[in-house]
Amino acid sequence: MNKPKFIFLIFLLIANFSQSQIQKDFFVDDANGVDFLRVKFCVNDEAKIFDVESIANESTYENKYVINQIKEYLLGIEFYENSKLKNDCHYTTLRLINSKYENIDKKGKDIPKDFSLLKGEYRYKNPFYNQTKIIRKKKIQREKAKDEKQIYFIEWISDSEYNLIYKRMTDRSLRKYIGKVINVKILDIFPDGSYIYKSTAEHFDWVTYGMMLKIK
């Protein structure tokens, strides 16, 4: 693992925490594409994190050295004095991305008729969403969880980029985004049709990395 790179990202985490925003993404050399680390952290009356626990059975990342580094730096974080996080424990999920994807910029090509990503059934690698069934057709993507169903238009820009446009949401909190766009850039495609992606959206102030596992 590249230690200086990891420490730099941890300092970004500290800076963002001071603004009540969590840095979600870390580039490390040993991630299996994109891995996930579930963390529980507790905040005292002085708005300082005093306890951090990684939750192994809800994580896919196992490098104890990196996990301990994350814990060590989290324990040095202090929130704003009036933070609503005080006197309670909270959970967050961190993404650990293989560093080879940090600066990758694929040049898109025309989409072949037999392109494997146009149709199929997928799952998210993220342990918290891996029960969500994703059914993709050429122009529609449906995501079905236990009590929810989200429908997006899918607009292919090239063989390495597409847009998801909110169409119909059973989750009331998402209905305000109907018509808005999530841009997805594909960073790597595996022989079985699974792929690594990076997504952005104007209505959210984030960049998200993830992995879609192709089921069939």
Q: Is residue 14 located within the same domain as residue 55? A: yes
**What separation in angstroms does the CA of 15 have from each of 27, 31, 36, 89?**
17, 24, 21, 20
What is the total count of domains within the chain? 2
Question: In this predicted structure, what is the pLDDT of residue 3?
Answer: 52
- Is residue 107 a part of any domain in this protein? no
Contacts of 14 (CB under 8 A, 6+ apart): 73, 76, 77
Q: Is residue 135 located within the same domain as residue 193? A: yes
Question: In this predicted structure, what is the pLDDT of residue 149?
Answer: 93
Q: Is residue 67 located within the same domain as residue 143? A: no
pTM of the model: 0.80
Reported as a pLDDT band with limits 50, 70 and 90, residue 140 is very high
- Is residue 206 a part of any domain in this protein? yes
Taking residue 160's Cβ as centre, other Cβ atoms within 10 Å add up to 21
Q: Is residue 82 located within the same domain as residue 22? A: yes
Q: Is residue 7 located within the same domain as residue 88? A: yes
Q: Is residue 125 located within the same domain as residue 176? A: yes
- Is residue 37 a part of any domain in this protein? yes
Reported as a pLDDT band with limits 50, 70 and 90, residue 9 is low
pLDDT tens for each residue of 27-82:
999 999 999 999 999 999 999 999 999 999 999 999 999 999 999 888 888 888 88
pLDDT tens for each residue of 79-125:
888 889 999 999 999 999 999 998 888 888 999 888 989 999 999 99
Q: Is residue 95 located within the same domain as residue 135? A: no
Q: Is residue 140 located within the same domain as residue 173? A: yes
Q: Is residue 92 located within the same domain as residue 160? A: no
Q: Is residue 97 located within the same domain as residue 124? A: no
pLDDT at residue 4 greater than cutoff 50: no
Q: Is-contact 87 44, C-beta < 8 A?
A: yes
- Is residue 110 a part of any domain in this protein? no
- CATH code for the domain of 22: 3.30.1150
Reported as a pLDDT band with limits 50, 70 and 90, residue 8 is very low
Question: In this predicted structure, what is the pLDDT of residue 143?
Answer: 95
Question: In this predicted structure, what is the pLDDT of residue 10?
Answer: 46
pLDDT over 70 for what percent of the chain?
A: 90
- Of 32, 67, 101, the residue that ends a domain is 101
- Is residue 112 a part of any domain in this protein? no
- Is residue 114 a part of any domain in this protein? no
Q: Is residue 9 located within the same domain as residue 93? A: yes
Range of the domain at 33: 3-101
pLDDT at residue 17 greater than cutoff 80: no
pLDDT tens for each residue of 148-194:
899 999 999 999 999 999 999 998 888 999 999 999 999 999 988 89
